[in-house]
Amino acid sequence: MENNIKKKGILVLEDGTKYEACHFGAPKSSAGEVVFNTSMTGYTESLTDPSYNGQILTYTYPIIGNYGVPSLSYDKASIIKFYESNRIQVSGLIISYYSDRPYHWNMSQSLSDWLWKHNVPGLYGVDTRFLAKKLRDQGGSLLGKILIGNERVPFYDPNKNLLSEKVSIKEKMIYGNGKYKVLLVDFGLKNNILRCLLQRDCTIIRVPWNYDFTREKYDGLLISNGPGNPEIYQKPIHYIRNSIEKEIPIFGICLGNQLLGIAAGGTTYKLKYAHRSHNQPVIFLKNGKSYITSQNHGYVLNTHSLSSEWKILFKNLNDDTCEGIIHERKPFFSVQFHPEASSGPTDTEFLFDLFIKSMVQKNN
């Protein structure tokens, strides 16, 4: 399938900018929100991250595809290894240089072949660092489309849709048999969240994004990451508000941070410069330490909209925006970044331990 490489394709942005490049992956046109990622490794994890659903992902690192794609396999808990979901989630891929002779001990196929099988197009030969700078100055993203051959598609804005309908599970699932029962609301969660909880002696009740969990019994509520505009998830926000009233421990991640804030009476706004990288520095206001985090979001909590009972837990060191909140008396907290980040950084994975601690204290 590598014979499609070096055929031409075009990236078109909503502001009229066009980039002619070489095509690889699926021979089809596609549209979505063009965003960027600054990681040097982990493209299989990022491409299968549901938070990127509906987006055309641009990598700033110049060499992509050099270690191919690992085989599809599962761990002892029946969770897919190496991937963050069961399929490629992005609408397209933009890179600077494609390695058409990949090699790795765990490789099963090339990146191009993998994209082809999942019907996802890619372009290479683009100055991705220049493109990332352009996207950054436009709030971290622009609508765009990849055009291959004579096929034409309209622009598509994924933020106008309930994307969790596409990426969340459809029915309740149970994982593990641990001491702590966690109700995990799946808005498009990454598989590594499951692993982080199972490693900490949890039983996980994973439910769809719109599941009414108000009658379920659990020790703690984890609100997952996911794609899209947080303001449109009104039904699950109502359910989260019910858990707040019951004072059950709550931990929110990424979209979960925004939804917890809205349920607590707050609002969100779209960032001028979105946070989309594997190297975002944040400061933990509890101890003054800084951490490097992985992020992919264009919306953020307006902390001025929250009551005085809620405090900022983390702050972004680049723009001082809110990266997490905590209730001053009750067991609720959330973060805007990914403490479960795979392929890293894992500097803030200790937050899962704090979540476990809040459940222990609540039950004692």
Burial label for 129, CB within 10 Å (0-12, 13-18, 19+), is middle
Q: Which amino acid is at 83?
A: Y
Integer Cα distance of 116 and 312 in angstroms: 44
Write down which residue in 97, 131, 160 finishes a domain: 160
User: How far is Cα 45 from Cα 116, in angstroms, rounded to an integer?
Assistant: 17
Closest CA to 334 of 260, 255, 252: 252
Looking at the structure of the chain, the number of domains it has is 2
Domain hosting residue 308, numbered range: 164-363
Helix axes 234-246, 255-263, angle to 10 degrees: 70
Same domain flag for 114 and 225: no
**Which pLDDT score is estimated for 1?**
47
- pLDDT confidence tier of residue 137, bands split at 50, 70 and 90: confident
Query: Is the four-CA dihedral 121, 125, 128, 130 of positive or negative sign?
Result: negative
Q: How confident is the model at residue 301 (pLDDT cuts 50, 70, 90)?
A: very high
Which carries the bigger pLDDT value, residue 333 or residue 274? Answer: 333
> Can you tell me the mean pLDDT for 67-87?
92
Question: Nearest 5°: CA angle at 305, between 302 and 307?
Answer: 130
Domain co-membership, 348 together with 209:
yes
What kind and span of H or E run contains 36? strand 30-37
Q: What is this structure's pTM?
A: 0.93
* Domain end marker among 116, 132, 160: 160
pLDDT digits (tens, 9 = 90+) for 38-50: 887 789 999 999 9
| 3-state secondary structure (DSSP) of residue 258 | helix
Q: Are residues 200 and 147 in the same domain?
A: no
Residues 154 and 180 in one domain: no
Q: Are 246 and 289 in contact (CB under 8 A)?
A: no
Would you name the residues annotated as active-site residues? Answer: 254
Q: Is residue 2 predicted with pLDDT exceeding 60?
A: no
Say which amino acid occupies 260.
L
* Single-letter residue type at 85: S
d(CA 68, CA 111) in angstroms, rounded, equals 5
Q: Band of the pLDDT at 5, cuts 50, 70, 90?
A: low
pLDDT at 200 > cutoff 80: yes
Whether residues 66 and 88 share a domain: the answer is yes
**Same domain assignment for residues 180 and 304:** yes
Domain CATH for 103: 3.50.30.20
**pLDDT for position 4:** 55
Question: Do 226 and 126 belong together in one domain?
Answer: no
Percent over 70 (pLDDT), the chain? 98
Which token pair is 38?
């600054």
pLDDT in tens, 142-178: 999 999 999 999 999 998 889 999 999 999 999 999 9
CB 174 within 8 A of CB 205: yes
